[in-house]
Structure 1
Amino acid sequence: MFKPEIVDNKKNPKACVKGTFAFQVKGLSEEWSDYKTLDLTRLRKGEWIRLQLKSGELLALITALDDFYNIYERYGIVRGEKDVLITDANIKTVIDKLLSSDVNLKRVFAEGGPELVTKTIEWLGNSSVSTEIIERLRRLDISTIERVNSILGLSQLKKVLEIWRDNKTNPDEDFWQEFFEVNAWTISQVFSAPMVILEDKAYLGGKEISNRGGTIVDFIFKNRLTKNTILVEIKTPMTPIIASEYRGTYSLHGEFTGPVNQLLNYKDELQKSFYTLAHGEATSYSVFNPRCLLVVGSLSNENIRGRKLKVFDLFRNDQRNVDIITYDELFEKVESLIKILEYEN
């Protein structure tokens, strides 16, 4: 092994690299370490050693040393630790040729596949030169940026839709709580307004002296523009909506009507406790007759149609303070948005 070292040679700056040849041996821990085969200071008269490099090895050594000379020429002596990416000498020429040809770019992405696009986006997101990237993006035509943004948004929408299709019968409430926490924008589709999560598992007051009886809502959203709050309760797509038939008509299931009453109670508690919870200080949100949303059940899972659908819609449309949407209705909105974006693209 040859160990090169960049040095600051004042007498001859061009002679800026020195090095040592070292033999190595693999130890018990499978790690390589230097092995002193022969101490040259102990050579006797007439004794000598010979170090031979094959043509390929010599070429590799000269090529690698050339990189060290280039590093010194560009950076000089670097104090501390610094990572330097060694590339081919003509790398800029290669990249310029790629970027100037749509045919070449298509070939590169065809061979790299989606993984190459993913890695590129991840690098852009984590890059330490984000300011430079933003400056370069500003030079792009606005329609190009809008198209890229649309493609990325479309990808996210399709990912969410795929999660729904894979979990239509998932009864785990924690799973859906986490889903909406990560994909809070789906709630905006219900209200056609920019919504953000203000708090999840939010305490709304109502505790007794015994520290029991406090109300906790799944999510509090707020309108990004008006700052007014929206209370959101999340059930699962498997939560039953319709109960059994009685005297020629269907009744509503308790697991469906219960959360509706819960939300009304949450709203009442929040309005009563707002100034106490805010401690009399200015807040980043408002409580002006807040809306309530219940995400619950699935029309398709429960095969709700005909008379069952009539009972459900009559009840839902009669609610003045609680908006109710089923999972399949919510994701139908997402699917419609995908179709619109695909048409535009």
Structure 2
Amino acid sequence: MEKLVLESTSIKTATSEPIELRVTDRIRLVFVPTIVNNDHDPNACVKGHFVYQKKLKAEQWEDIRDLKLTELRPSEGVKLELKSAELLQLLKTLGQLYRIHHRDGLPNGKIEYVKLSGALEGLCNSSNEDLKEFIELQSDNAVGMFKRIAKWLSNIEHSEKIVESLETLPPESLNQLNVVAGLSVLKQCLKTWESNRFSSDEEFWQKELTKNSFILSQVFSFPVVVVKDKAYVGGKSINNQGGNVVDFLYKNKFTNNAALIEIKTPSINLLGAKYRQTYNVSTELSGSVNQTLNYNSSLGQEYFSLVGYNTGMFSSFSPNCVVIIGNTQELNSPEKVKAFELYRNNLKNLKILTFDELFGRVENFIQILEQSN
């Protein structure tokens, strides 16, 4: 792509790279432009001069100053002829400099402009109506393109320019942008759930919820932050065997108190065999509850040996415990619903949440965002 580099030289002038019009191995003809703030005529914002240059041994160009026009005799003159292609190149580049000045004014420091061509130029020059029509007619291509742009923006070296540009947007536009971005992430999470609601791969759910840990924050009634996933909470014997590793260690953002989350899979049964007028809970559910309570006990007993002198990492004051397991679709009768609800609602300091309930909260959040959009 063609590039133009502008650099300010004073509060009223800036230089651009020489416009190369004619070049050989040793000699070239260039036009050296200067962009100016013209108080008398703002439209007259470019001046400059032609100069022949010769190449030095160090591959640098030096002005040829053998002829001084002020020393010409009355009968002498100088003719500088430009070929049609050379004149076209000069006019095209000068036109770009005029447009840059009219749009951006003089640069502050050194700025590089890249000339777009083809589809990119058309996209940049498109109106809001054209962009809207393009996205509606070519939704797959449009989404793919904007995903690439978003990825580039997240890794751009000079991100402060992007921030400055966003700050010029009206507040309602920024809010709209945040909502759209948030909705996109939430809908992707929901789509993953719909495609894997019967998955029995515990490692898959561990990775998925680690990647989107904000989903787990919906479990609590207070703001939380992740301390660590796969966190060791004590329990090793004197010969360094055993040990307890909880899936997620969170903490209350304001009080610093710990919260433990244990992840199973949505395919695990919640209930076992029928017992008289009710149902037993499944071995997997009762085992997961006891496992998490054991982690909690281990954390409390070995808290100081785990955090050492860094007690600001988190606190351990009767931490909240959560087990995410199973799917309420299994509860296909009032008796089963009653047995499950009686069991989990009578547990102390531990909450049981099913996978469909967890992602149901995500779905509700999507609906709230779409209604406010």
TM-score by length of structure 1 reads 0.73
Aligned residues of 2:29 and 2:53 also touching (Cα < 8 A): no
Distance 1:129 1:325, change over 3 A: same
Distance across 2 between alignment mates of 1:325 and 1:337: 17
CA RMSD of aligned residues (A): 3.8
Residue aligning to 1:193: 222
Distance across 1 between alignment mates of 2:305 and 2:226: 21
Distance across 2 between alignment mates of 1:191 and 1:255: 23
Deviation at 1:248, TM superposition (A): 3.5
Letter in 2 for 1:202: A
Residue aligning to 1:282: 311
Distance across 2 between alignment mates of 1:286 and 1:329: 28
Which of the numbers 202, 207, 220 marks the counterpart of 1:173? 202
Question: Which consecutive residues of structure 2, in runs of 5 or more, have no partner in the other structure?
Answer: 1-22, 33-49, 56-83, 101-111
Residue aligning to 1:317: 345
Deviation at 1:279, TM superposition (A): 1.6
Residue aligning to 1:128: 157
Distance 1:290 1:8, change over 3 A: farther
| Counterparts of residues 52-91 of structure 1 (less than 5 Å) | 85-88=114-117
Residue aligning to 2:336: 308
Distance 1:92 1:15, change over 3 A: farther
**Per-residue CA distance 1:215-251 (angstroms, 9 max, x = gap):** 1111101122222110110000011111011333211
Aligned residues of 2:307 and 2:313 also touching (Cα < 8 A): no
Letter in 1 for 2:323: L
* 1:337 aligns to 2:372 (yes or no): no
Distance across 2 between alignment mates of 1:250 and 1:170: 25
| Counterparts of residues 158-169 of structure 1 (less than 5 Å) | 158-169=187-198
Deviation at 1:196, TM superposition (A): 2.2
Distance 1:94 1:119, change over 3 A: closer
Moved over 3 A (4+): 4-19, 83-89, 91-95, 107-112
Distance 1:289 1:8, change over 3 A: farther
Once the two structures are overlaid, the 10-residue window that deviates more, 287-296 or 105-114, is 105-114
Distance across 2 between alignment mates of 1:316 and 1:6: 85
Deviation at 1:8, TM superposition (A): 9.3
Letter in 2 for 1:152: A
Distance across 2 between alignment mates of 1:294 and 1:202: 15
Residue aligning to 1:213: 242
* 1:263 aligns to 2:302 (yes or no): no
**Per-residue CA distance 1:255-308 (angstroms, 9 max, x = gap):** 1100101111111110111111122333321111100000000011x2443111
| Counterparts of residues 224-239 of structure 1 (less than 5 Å) | 224-239=253-268
Distance across 1 between alignment mates of 2:176 and 2:305: 47
| Counterparts of residues 247-262 of structure 1 (less than 5 Å) | 247-262=276-291
Deviation at 1:5, TM superposition (A): 9.0
Aligned length: 291
> What's the secondary structure of 1:117's corresponding residue?
helix
* 1:240 aligns to 2:266 (yes or no): no
Question: Which consecutive residues of structure 1, in runs of 5 or more, have no partner in the other structure?
Answer: 20-57, 75-82
**Per-residue CA distance 1:184-228 (angstroms, 9 max, x = gap):** 111111113322221111111121112112111111011222221
Distance across 1 between alignment mates of 2:276 and 2:288: 25
Distance across 1 between alignment mates of 2:52 and 2:334: 86
Distance 1:129 1:252, change over 3 A: same
Aligned residues of 2:29 and 2:52 also touching (Cα < 8 A): no
| Counterparts of residues 88-167 of structure 1 (less than 5 Å) | 88=117, 95=124, 97-98=125-126, 101-110=127-136, 111=138, 112-167=141-196
Deviation at 1:17, TM superposition (A): 9.3
Letter in 2 for 1:123: W
Fraction of identical pairs, as percent: 35
Distance across 1 between alignment mates of 2:167 and 2:199: 44
Aligned residues of 1:5 and 1:17 also touching (Cα < 8 A): no
**Per-residue CA distance 1:10-59 (angstroms, 9 max, x = gap):** 9997578999xxxxxxxxxxxxxxxxxxxxxxxxxxxxxxxxxxxxxx97
Distance 1:182 1:7, change over 3 A: farther
Residue aligning to 1:273: 302
Letter in 2 for 1:256: L
> What's the secondary structure of 1:191's corresponding residue?
coil
Distance across 2 between alignment mates of 1:103 and 1:120: 20
Distance across 2 between alignment mates of 1:225 and 1:206: 28
Aligned residues of 1:6 and 1:16 also touching (Cα < 8 A): no
Distance 1:324 1:5, change over 3 A: farther
Distance 1:6 1:251, change over 3 A: farther
